[in-house]
Amino acid sequence: HNAKADAGLIFQSATSVEWRLRADPWDDTMLMAYALRQPASLKQIGPKLTRIPMQTYRQTVGKAPRNFASLMADNPAAANDYAAKDAIVTARIEPTLRNALVMNPELLNVYEEQKDLVPVLYEMERTGVLIDTQHLQDFGALVQRELEVIRWITPNQINGNSRDAVL
């Protein structure tokens, strides 16, 4: 459901290049839901579309290790149950989400563009990124000035921090 997060597990545990290549398309039901302006959390959208009740990671494993790899080492049965349920629900919601995207070509295009960024973002997180902090500060100042103009033109009408208000 979250291809970027799952890629790390796939690439760490996959022993053959063939298995890694099968994971390459990077389809992501979380991005599909986001493009459709649905809840992106599998724990929210999963039960809505499948009627299968779900629990959060913490609810499933209690006070657990910080990450899934640690859980696999400490409690493989709980880790497998959690992962299996996520996989089943993800597989069941995918056709519904894909059909909704196909019915709306504009949103399908949004999804396809976002999907192309998943391997790039995964690699950036894995290897690190050099950031030009001065350029980032300059750009932030530019955005703030633009927001001030928008707020002056449309006081109390647009929340610049809201994804839905700016789309």
CA–CA distance, 59 with 77 (Å, rounded to integer) = 15
Read off the pLDDT band of 128 (50, 70, 90).
confident
Q: How confident is the prediction for the chain on average, in pLDDT?
A: 81
CA–CA distance, 46 with 96 (Å, rounded to integer) = 11
Percent of the chain with pLDDT over 90: 38
Q: Between 111 and 73, name the one with better pLDDT.
A: 111
CB 43 within 8 A of CB 86: no
Among 98, 100, 80, 102, smallest CA distance to 90 is for 98
Packing angle of the helix pair 42-50, 76-102 (nearest 10 deg): 70
Summarised one tens digit per residue, pLDDT across range 24-72 is: 456 889 999 999 999 989 999 999 999 999 988 788 777 756 677 777 8
The mean pLDDT of 127-136, rounded to a whole number, is 90
